[in-house]
Amino acid sequence: MTTPAGGTNGVADIAADIAAKIAANIDAVRATITAAARRCGRDPNDVRLIGVSKGFDATTAAAALDAGLTDLGENRAQELLTKHPEVEALATGHDAPAAVWHFVGRLQRNKVRTLAPVVSWWHSVDRDVLADEIARRAPKARVLIQVDLGGEESKGGCAPAETEALAAHCSAAGLDVRGLMTVPPHGDPARPYFAALRTMADDLGLPECSMGMSEDVGEAVEEGATLVRVGRAIFGRRPGPVGVE
């Protein structure tokens, strides 16, 4: 069906509008990253932008790939497994690159087997048994130790005092321990938590820090983030309960 003026299909117009908004949003987030990096003398290219597409369909996630994003994150195992083949098929059809998938949520050990063929970065390793399962199912996988700096057990993460031992355990299991990850407590100023995580990573000789979301990307970059996990600022307000943004 065409418009009376002979334009394109109305559904296609809506899809194109969404894709344009996502592309513009990605540009805006990248501009925030660039400005923050320059303020503290960093190279903006050292910060990896991850689009967290939780709650959005495969078409929306694929639009981010069309706009030049290379990294997508999910924090629910079943949603990632359902969305992954659809996104990859859409990306192939649009000549967009395949996504690099990051698992950024709290992870149950029994989900590792099915996630292993898909996930490139595991952001939420917080206990020995989980590390062992990842090492068994995805040898030499890139992992980040999630640190609970705010004392919130509901979010997962190991205690700061346990981080060095867990990192050593992961390395001994054959995993590629790249760095640390944290989620600051909601409502608290985020910057002190970001600074603390960067200090911990530096003390352990780890290059990567996964920290910062839609509302605090600039602060995270200024404090040394190398991976930022952004949902709302790229995809808009998600339909359903608010989660990682």
What are the pLDDT digits (tens) for 9-56? 554 565 788 889 999 999 999 999 999 999 999 999 999 999 999 999
In a domain, 34, yes or no: yes
Tell whether the model's pLDDT for residue 1 goes beyond 80.
Answer: no
In a domain, 46, yes or no: yes
Q: What is the CATH number of the domain that holds 115?
A: 3.20.20.10
In a domain, 4, yes or no: no
Assigned token pair, 143: 């992992």
Cα–Cα distance between 111 and 177 in angstroms, integer? 20
- Measured at the alpha carbon of residue 119, what is the angle toward residues 121 and 98, in degrees to the nearest 5? 100
Model pLDDT, residue 130: 98
In a domain, 241, yes or no: no
In a domain, 102, yes or no: yes
Total number of domains constituting the chain: 1
Domain with 179 in it: 10-235
In a domain, 244, yes or no: no
Residue 185 burial (10 A CB sphere; 0-12, 13-18, 19+): middle
In a domain, 205, yes or no: yes
Residue with structure tokens 């640190």? 147
Which pTM does this prediction carry? 0.90
In a domain, 62, yes or no: yes
Average pLDDT over residues 162-183: 98
Look at 46-50, 89-93, 101-105, 149-153 and tell me which has the smallest mean pLDDT.
Answer: 89-93
* Cβ contact 222:198 at 8 Å: no
